[in-house]
Structure 1
Amino acid sequence: MEEGPSNGGLLYHEVQEGKLCAVHCVNTVLQGPYFSELDLAALASDLDKQERQVLGGELQPEHGDFLADGSHNVSLEGNFSIQVLQKALEVWDLEVVPLASPALEESKYNPEELENAFICHQEDHWFCIRKVNGEWYNFNSLYPAPEHLSKFYLCAYLDSLKASGWTIFTIKGNFPKECNIPSESASGFGQWLMPDDAKKITESCNKQQVTRATDIEKQEMDMLYATREDEDLNAAILASLLDASNSTSGYGTHISGAGESSSTLGNEAHMSEAIEDGNKNEKDNTEQEPASTSSPSIVKNEDDPNIHG
């Protein structure tokens, strides 16, 4: 079902404020600042009262700590339950139906033609995917502007969300056609954009993200090169120190060798002198031995009568 032009062709988008993504989600479904956080908080309070009345206003064991905890429809941080979003959209005769419902079997295969809006939820985040003036946009409040989605990409995107554990609801009914656009958004964080302006903002932010990623990669590479240069410098310094150490050690060995040579020469000189002294002593002994070892000389005694002349 095609939707006619609305709001003069403008897109209404709200940028994330605190944890008010449920507020942003409801307003982008309606394409205008229809609800504030106070409005949703009042709806949450009404739901709490109705639930307490159903429970009899008394804490029962099977009810756990529901009454003791206060509200199960809004957290202290401002996150709202699906029941609150349903109540808000019911004010505009819109129905919230899980996309997994058997009644929406055809919408699973042809969502771009059969549906006009989806709300997606995972953990503490809500966002809206909405068809405005025949074109699909992702109104995620974490984005600076609505992101255009082609019909082909819409199917793939919904499938990827389901595969990632997101719960998806489709919105049925007649959406508001026109919103009284004030000079400033009542919520304080909404903005009206022409599709071309939204495209420029998205492209600019994507370019900045790519540039930022490139800068980070460049910084990481510079740090890697600097680390390598430091390692090379340290290696060169270490090699230089080792060369210097080896040179000093060789010089000491040379001196030591010279000392050993001098010592050896000195020892050889002493040994030579000792040998010469030994030879001299042996010679002297040799010259003296004949006198001490020869036969005693016969002395002629002229007075000996046995000796004849």
Structure 2
Amino acid sequence: MTEANLIAKWNGKEYKLDFQVDQSIKQLKEYLYEITQVSPSKQKLIGLVKGKLPPDETLIKDLKLKATHQFIMMGTVDEDIIKDQSDLDVVNDLDIDYRTTTSPIKDPANQLALHKTISQGKKLLVLDLDYTLFDCKSTANHIMQLARPGLHEMLTVLAPYYEYCIWSQTSWRWLEAKITELGMLTHPEYQISFVLDITFMFSITGKKKRHQVKALEIIWNKLPQFGPHNTIHVDDLSRNFAFNPQSGLKITPFKNALSNTGDKELWKLCKYLLQLTLVDDFKTMDHRNWKEFDGPAPQISYCLYDKLCGGDKGSPKMLDIEIFHEKQEGQLCAQHAINNLLQGSYFTAVDLSSIAQQLDQEELQTLEAQTNFQSSNYDDSGFFSVQVVARALQVFGLELLPYGSSDPIAKYANTNPESQSAYICNLDQHWFAIRKFGNVNTRFYNLNSTFPEPKHITETYLGMFLLQIKTEGYSIFIVNGELPTSDADQQAMLNPIPQKIQQYDSEGDLEKAIKMSMGQTEEDDDLQRAIKESMMDVGNDEESLALAMSASLKDQGNYSSNPQSSSTNTSVPIERLPELPMDEMRRKRLERFGQ
């Protein structure tokens, strides 16, 4: 056993401590001091062992404790108790009111030398550690599993522009261990300039409690090239900005690391800090609105971007922080495909059901009120027909064109698939979208809701991929019209270089697509002929769309709720969706998103 699960009870609260068994009672007291501010000399640990407490140098493993052991800590502090940080999900931004009698610059405890040569011309980024860069309370096999997603990537991107200071509200022993195990001290792509621990902090008394703060003047006094004009302090606790509120940027705390792998706060922060490098005076900025800032950013060099693409497979990279991606819920893939295409939660299942009901009413009128009518536009499973998808996209001035139709746009797309902005694909009631971002041909992404995140499709692979899924039976539709712009479009224009780590070019799929396109199978002649026919037959998809869109318009007899049902009734061909008033739906969409 390498860890002891200790539960300390104090002041009516329980503190779960995942403590290493090869650490001492003294270290346990120091840790308790960090979270309660009860000094070790005032602590009494009752129930940790039977009888008198052994000397402080005694190791936890020598106490022979149970796997989970509870004890009571007694002790008081002079001022109000500092709250356990794990409870500080919401911090009052007004809690920076304070009074103090000692200047942080004159405090002898803060007159320590900083031993790192600092480059001229860079700005200063001061970063908190616990809950800002990693989850300090969850348990994992290795501390790297608790690192906030994007930690090393962000620091790599910003290294040419910032000097880094890590300032943690923990003792030096813990600070050194954490940043070492997280790989921050030895990372080959960036360097930590200097670190500050809890000894560089001091207590102030606010309106309701006494708490410690981080005064940036301590740094500015030692390094006069830095000041409020070029320093940014990132922390999950706004009260740490008491002395320098204008230099503080509060981000959400990072918790539950093992289940919160989709956290993208650092990627959003990275974008803002890049934009901040082009701001001459940080004092002109209101960091409270950092997520809404939309300023210019420096171009990232190819070499640096290539380094970013060398991270762990699946970790989000620059562009993907802005891609809206709904994941699969039930059978609502049509809803997800539409929203992923439009890059926003524009439609709910209720919205699409309303469209389906409207289509049903139109079909009933056409069929002169058949008594045994059943809808083929939607069902209880969450399925929605192509008519519903097409009608929803009409709200945004978009239309569906079959990929293999005789329309000039479709003909051109067959030989130049990258010329189109987006595609929607369907097979056996499953829908997914493929979209280009920033009108950059190297920025196509498969937004399939069954994927945990968008997958990049290279410009070369796009045509082969469409051919592959077509031979598998998918119906492919071109989305014709101007798509709504998104943050990802802006990011794609700034960074058009493909992200190798997320390209949809896994060896198996790519090899399969290449073999299909070249006919390299056991049945060479048959496959070559099939591929040629699929490339030449431009009428089938147009006919398929007409059949699908008119599937519910039956002449007489039985009606099936399954659009794939083998009905013998004759379908009524439809060339285009009817142009029906959708003003109310458009108004609802615009109101929802404040446009």
TM-score range, shorter chain: 0.5 to 0.7
Q: Residue 136 of structure 1 contacts residue 150 of structure 1 at CA under 8 Å; is this kept in 2? A: yes
Aligned ranges 1:276-295 → 2 under 5 Å:
none
**Rounded Cα–Cα distance in structure 2 between residues aligned with 1:95 and 1:201:** 33
**Rounded Cα–Cα distance in structure 2 between residues aligned with 1:32 and 1:57:** 37
Give the CA deviation at 1:22: 0.1
Give the CA deviation at 1:176: 1.1
- AA partner of residue 414 (structure 2): K
Map of 1:43 onto structure 2? 355
Aligned ranges 1:19-38 → 2 under 5 Å:
19-38=331-350
Map of 2:485 onto structure 1? 177
Match of residue 119, structure 1, among 415, 424, 428:
424
- AA partner of residue 415 (structure 2): Y
Aligned ranges 1:79-90 → 2 under 5 Å:
79-90=383-394
Q: How far does the alpha carbon of each residue in 1:133-179 deviate from its partner, in whole angstroms, 9 at most, with x for none?
A: 22100000010000001000111100001111100000011111248
Match of residue 446, structure 2, among 138, 150, 156:
138
Aligned ranges 1:71-82 → 2 under 5 Å:
71-82=375-386
3-state SS in 2 of match to 1:169: strand
Match of residue 152, structure 1, among 460, 466, 486:
460
Q: Residue 456 of structure 2 contacts residue 502 of structure 2 at CA under 8 Å; is this kept in 1? A: no
Q: Residue 40 of structure 1 contacts residue 84 of structure 1 at CA under 8 Å; is this kept in 2? A: yes
- AA partner of residue 127 (structure 1): F
| TM-score, L = length of structure 1 | 0.52
Map of 2:20 onto structure 1? none
Give the CA deviation at 1:20: 0.2
Aligned ranges 1:206-285 → 2 under 5 Å:
none
Q: Residue 436 of structure 2 contacts residue 444 of structure 2 at CA under 8 Å; is this kept in 1? A: yes
Give the CA deviation at 1:58: 2.7
Q: Residue 27 of structure 1 contacts residue 33 of structure 1 at CA under 8 Å; is this kept in 2? A: yes
> Higher relative CO (CA 8 A, sep ≥ 6), structure 1 or 2?
1
Q: How far does the alpha carbon of each residue in 1:105-128 deviate from its partner, in whole angstroms, 9 at most, with x for none?
A: 11111011x200000000020000
Q: Residue 445 of structure 2 contacts residue 457 of structure 2 at CA under 8 Å; is this kept in 1? A: yes
Give the CA deviation at 1:53: 0.7
Map of 2:244 onto structure 1? none
3-state SS in 1 of match to 2:325: strand
Q: How far does the alpha carbon of each residue in 1:43-65 deviate from its partner, in whole angstroms, 9 at most, with x for none?
A: 00000011001111134xxxxx5
RMSD: 2.7
Q: How far does the alpha carbon of each residue in 1:195-218 deviate from its partner, in whole angstroms, 9 at most, with x for none?
A: 9xxx79969xx9xxxxxxxxxxxx
**Rounded Cα–Cα distance in structure 2 between residues aligned with 1:36 and 1:98:** 25
Q: Gapped runs of 5+ residues in structure 2?
A: 1-291, 295-318, 488-494, 507-595
Q: Residue 421 of structure 2 contacts residue 436 of structure 2 at CA under 8 Å; is this kept in 1? A: yes
Q: Residue 400 of structure 2 contacts residue 478 of structure 2 at CA under 8 Å; is this kept in 1? A: yes
**Rounded Cα–Cα distance in structure 2 between residues aligned with 1:18 and 1:168:** 23
Map of 2:370 onto structure 1? 58
Q: How far does the alpha carbon of each residue in 1:67-119 deviate from its partner, in whole angstroms, 9 at most, with x for none?
A: 0x3x210021011000000010000000111111111111111011x200000
Q: Gapped runs of 5+ residues in structure 1?
A: 1-6, 60-64, 180-194, 207-309
Distance 1:47 1:79, change over 3 A: same
Aligned ranges 1:184-223 → 2 under 5 Å:
none
Percent identity of equivalent pairs: 39
- AA partner of residue 116 (structure 1): S
Larger radius of gyration, structure 1 or 2?
A: 1
3-state SS in 2 of match to 1:29: helix
Q: How far does the alpha carbon of each residue in 1:207-257 deviate from its partner, in whole angstroms, 9 at most, with x for none?
A: xxxxxxxxxxxxxxxxxxxxxxxxxxxxxxxxxxxxxxxxxxxxxxxxxxx
Moved over 3 A (4+): 199-203
Map of 1:15 onto structure 2? 327
Matched, 1:109 2:418: no
| TM-score, L = length of structure 2 | 0.28
Q: Residue 73 of structure 1 contacts residue 83 of structure 1 at CA under 8 Å; is this kept in 2? A: yes
Distance 1:155 1:120, change over 3 A: same
